[in-house]
Amino acid sequence: MTNPPWRGYVNMLTYGLALGRGVDAATVSRRVTELMRTDVFGLPVSDYHSAALAALADDTPLTTEPEHNQAVVRDFLVRLVAELERRRPWPEPPAYAGDLHDWDGLCHAPVIGRTPASRAAFRDAFNSGFHPLHSEGQVSYVLVLRLRTGQTIALRAPAAYHEPGIDILTFASAATTRADVRDLLKIKLDPPLEE
């Protein structure tokens, strides 16, 4: 039996919560606040909202966690959706992790700049990890990001976790994307952006 598309989102939404006997308003409010903070949950709030609605509309059990009560999870999701609606408009993160499959379309894109940051610093700053890709005995570490402004960029990092120098690749306009990377992600690029 395959998992419904919303299952991973519901697992993220309920992770670390004691949903055996009941849920209080403070728990719901805290989780919604975490959703609004882009450094905790990495995808747009709308993705979690849509997944919660899809889960509530499905007749599949909402959780596979034995310590979670189905009725409590349903109550939590209903209250979460209501609180999300109350807090509209939702903040949009400056960037969020894209699909790793997009790397295939970006791996031959031009390098538009390099940040002196390392994978370690990037992970701490943006709550996004790089994925190892193995090819011809070499390991590349890549991350695909979708910027709030619409561009999709790929980041390619050195093998060593603390080694500086992450290349930024895209087929989008180099000047526009460099400016958006600087303004949205607040990272320096070498060579410096021409003002």
Using one digit for the tens of pLDDT, what is the confidence trace for 100-142? 888 989 999 999 999 988 888 877 666 678 999 887 788 889 9
Distances in Å between the Cα of 133 and the Cα atoms of 96, 143, 156, 157 are: 20, 10, 10, 11
Q: Are residues 111 and 178 in the same domain?
A: yes
Q: What is the pTM assigned to this prediction?
A: 0.67
Contacts of 129 (CB under 8 A, 6+ apart): 119, 123, 143
Question: Which has more pLDDT, 151 or 67?
Answer: 151
Residue 2 lies in a domain: no
Assess contact for 119 and 161: CB atoms under 8 A. Answer: yes
Taken in order 8, 29, 19, 75, the sign of the CA dihedral is negative
Query: Does 192 sit behind a cis peptide bond, omega within 30 degrees of 0 on the bond before it?
Result: no
Give residue for tokens 């409010």: 29
* Of the residues 86, 110, 133, the one at which a domain ends: 86
Residue 170, domain extent: 95-185
pLDDT computed for residue 191 by the predictor: 63
* In a domain? residue 166: yes
Number of domains in the chain: 2
Give the integer Cα–Cα distance in Å for 153 and 102.
Answer: 9
pLDDT digits (tens, 9 = 90+) for 13-40: 998 888 878 889 999 999 999 998 866 7
| Residues 117 and 172 reside in one and the same domain | yes
Looking at the structure, tell me whether residues 174 and 99 fall in a common domain. Answer: yes
Length of the chain: 195
Q: Who has greater pLDDT, 11 or 38?
A: 11
Token pair in block for residue 110: 């031009």
CA distance 49 to 26: 18
Closest listed residue to residue 19, CA positions, set 74, 83, 56, 79 = 74
Same-domain pairing of 81 and 121: no
Residue 190: inside a domain, yes or no?
no
Q: Is residue 135 part of a domain?
A: yes
pLDDT at residue 98 tops 50? yes
End-of-domain residue from the set 86, 105, 129: 86
In this structure, are 111 and 175 located in the same domain? Answer: yes
How far is it, in rounded angstroms, from Cα 13 to Cα 81? 11
